[in-house]
Amino acid sequence: MEDLYRENLLDHYENPRHHGTLEHADFSHEESNPLCGDRIRVDVKLSEDGSQIVDIAFSGDGCIISQASASMLMEEVDGKPISDVQKLERQDILDLVGAPLTTARVKCALLGLKVLKAGLYQYLVDHQD
Amino acid sequence: MEDMIKSLDVARIRQDFPALNERVNGRPLVFLDSAASSQKPVQMLAALEQAYRTSYANVHRGVYYNSERTTDLYDQARGKIARFIGAPAPENVVFVRNATEALNLVAYSYGRHFLRAGDEILLTELEHHANFVPWLVLARERGVRLKFIPLTPQGTLDLSKLDELLTPRVKLVTFAHVSNVLGTITDPKPIIDRAHAIGAKVIVDGCQAAPHMPVDVGALDCDFYALSGHKMLGPTGIGVLYGKAEVLDAMPPFMTGGDMISNVSFDSVSWNDAPVKFEAGTPAFVEAIGLGAAVDYLAALGMDAVRAHEREVVAYALDRLSEVPGATVIGPTDPDIRGGAVAFTIKDIHPHDLGTLLDREGVAIRAGHHCAQPLHTRLGLTATARASFYIYTELREVDALIEAIYKAKQVLRK
């Protein structure tokens, strides 16, 4: 277990990167995991042409896995084109966490990505030409 | 007559539960989630296997030996369960899949037939979703109003306003005999009597009571009592709805099909008598036979002894948890009014992280809202950890729990 709750994960939990909210976000989205009450909100600021993430922040509360993996995800996607975000998958998040998770805990780890993708999807639907 | 309650021989009992000898993550399993589902004794497993291996056939169908033998076993199981819960007759016992189905059966059949717009249902703030959502759906559909018996700060039902809540509009009163989160044991009799005084019917959710303490539905005089077989040494897929004969007789069927009919023509149908009226299609008769073997096992131990053992384990767990810095027990602190479940929080550790870390020590607990979200909201919590005990739980397993909690605190630097 120490291999899961190891230094890197605990560090992201205790010192979350990109933690907070953005004042002029292009989109914000929030969801919770009904099973355990983990809750994550993501605020995203995009470039002028809407193709790239220029600033991102998350807030919320919940277990270490959900909050630390959201923090890792923020670092991963900040500055990236949104096409990269759309390509992110379950395994990419599990790779970031870097330690085996039981089935029940995978949901916790994936909440941040789920929120980001759902928010981005809604933004793209709302901004179709 | 014996005045002394015999005590359980837990070491002997554990030999009947092969799953308890397993190792998890390289450590002996410490199974503390019996409130979710209990482990199974070899005697029950043997009854299942024998029913499938020997003279197997469908029930209530054939006139040949196998079918009649299996039908006899099924009927015997109904009788065993009736005796176990103090029902006047086997016909009071309706076999269902689980307690959720039992409660839905009452909501759909009794509720939709007898309740009208403007009627009220009185429930409590501590209900499991299974005894809340069916009523919420009925209320929305029929314009029925839900009212709730509130909680005291100690986590017991606050009955001080019960007479005000029991207005003539209240047609149904329902509550958990034992809370699956707070552990609170509610004495059903005073509520049942006061509800009957205004003409309301009473449903008791006995999921966390029937496996753990003597239950006498006849003495309680409740109209319905629901229980789940898998929480009391039985297999999954079998539960029981107890109902008073006159109430079951007055209710329309919940599902229709084979077995539950009396006569069918091309344009008409008449129903069979209860309990078969509520058992459309091939029932889970092998599982019912298994549940019969499970209650045989419990009856042989004596439910007074079962209760006394769990009270001892709970008292010890409350005591040990009180020593742990940052630990808060949810619910009453008096073991006399607590069933076999102890929910708690550890400061600054999310229950899911705690559950995962305990699992690495072989300690299996439940973490989450335990299907009682409104209660958790009421308590200002999103999730709790829960350790629950049964006939096979040893005090050393409580020690293992406490040790594992200290270890988790160490790993997470809390």
Over range A34-63, report the average pLDDT: 92
Give the nearest partner residue to A1 out of B356, B367, B373, using CB atoms.
Answer: B356
Distance from CA of B23 to the nearest CA of A (A): 16
Closest residue of chain B to A11, computed from CA coordinates: B412
Give the nearest partner residue to A5 out of B367, B382, B412, using CB atoms.
Answer: B412
Residues of chain A in Cβ contact (below 8 Å) with chain B: 1-2, 4-5, 10, 34-38, 61-65, 102, 104-105, 108
Dihedral of alpha carbons A70, A76, A77, A78, sign: positive
pLDDT of residue B205: 98
Active site residues of B: 371
- Strands B93-96 vs B239-243: parallel, antiparallel or unpaired: antiparallel
How far is Cα B209 from Cα B178, in angstroms, rounded to an integer?
6
| A67 has pLDDT over 70 | yes
From the candidate CATH numbers 3.40.50.300, 3.90.1150.10, 3.20.20.70, 1.10.1040.10, the one assigned to the domain spanning B10-40+302-411: 3.90.1150.10
Q: Map out the domains of chain B as residue ranges.
A: 10-40+302-411, 45-300
Hey, do B10-40+302-411 and B45-300 end up sharing a CATH topology, with the first three levels equal? no
- pLDDT confidence band for A128 (50 / 70 / 90): confident
Topology given in CATH for the domain delimited by A7-123:
Sufe protein. Chain: A (3.90.1010)
pLDDT of residue B1: 42
pLDDT of residue B5: 67
- pLDDT confidence band for A2 (50 / 70 / 90): low
User: With helix as H, strand as E and coil as C, how does chain B read?
Assistant: CCCCCCCCCHHHHHCCCHHHHCEECCEECEECECCCCCCCCHHHHHHHHHHHHCCCCCCCCCCCHHHHHHHHHHHHHHHHHHHHHCCCCHHHEEEECCHHHHHHHHHHHHHHHHCCCCCEEEEECCCCHHHCHHHHHHHHHHCCEEEEECECCCCCECHHHHHHHCCCCEEEEEEECECCCCCEECCHHHHHHHHHHCCCEEEEECCCCCCCCCCCHHHHCCCEEEEEHHHHCCCCCCEEEEECHHHHHHCCCCCCCCCCEEEECCCCEEECCCCHHHCCCCCCHHHHHHHHHHHHHHHHHCHHHHHHHHHHHHHHHHHHHHHCCCEEEECCCCHHHECCEEEEEECCECHHHHHHHHHCCCEECEEECCCCHHHHHHHCCCCEEEEECCCCCCHHHHHHHHHHHHHHHHHCCC
**Given an 8 Å threshold on Cβ–Cβ distance, is B352 in contact with A5?**
no
pLDDT of residue B4: 61
Closest residue of chain B to A65, computed from CA coordinates: B353
**Given an 8 Å threshold on Cβ–Cβ distance, is B368 in contact with A36?**
yes
| B138 and B113 Cβ atoms separated by less than 8 Å | no
Q: Map out the domains of chain A as residue ranges.
A: 7-123
pLDDT of residue A129: 67
Helix or strand holding residue A106 (H, E): helix A103-126
pLDDT of residue B344: 97
- A53-86 burial, b at 16+ Cβ within 10 Å, e below that, comes to bebbbbbbebbbbbbbbbbbbbebbeeeebeebe
Say whether domain B45-300 belongs to CATH 2.40.50.140: no
How far is Cα B315 from Cα B326, in angstroms, rounded to an integer?
19
**Given an 8 Å threshold on Cβ–Cβ distance, is B411 in contact with A2?**
yes
pLDDT of residue A40: 96
In this prediction, the residues of chain B whose per-residue pLDDT falls under 50 are 1-2
How far is Cα B15 from Cα B315, in angstroms, rounded to an integer?
25
pLDDT digits (tens, 9 = 90+) for A87-116: 999 999 999 998 888 888 899 999 999 999
pLDDT of residue A26: 96
Q: Which residues of A touch B367 (CB under 8 A)?
A: 36
SS3 A41: strand
Give the nearest partner residue to B350 out of A10, A62, A102, using CB atoms.
Answer: A62
- pLDDT confidence band for A7 (50 / 70 / 90): confident
Angle at B103 between CA B78 and CA B336, to 5 degrees: 85
- In A34-102, which ranges are continuous DSSP H helix? 64-77, 82-87, 90-97
Polymer length of chain A: 129
Calculate what percentage of chain A has a pLDDT beyond 90.
Answer: 78
pLDDT of residue B259: 77
**Given an 8 Å threshold on Cβ–Cβ distance, is A5 in contact with B357?**
yes
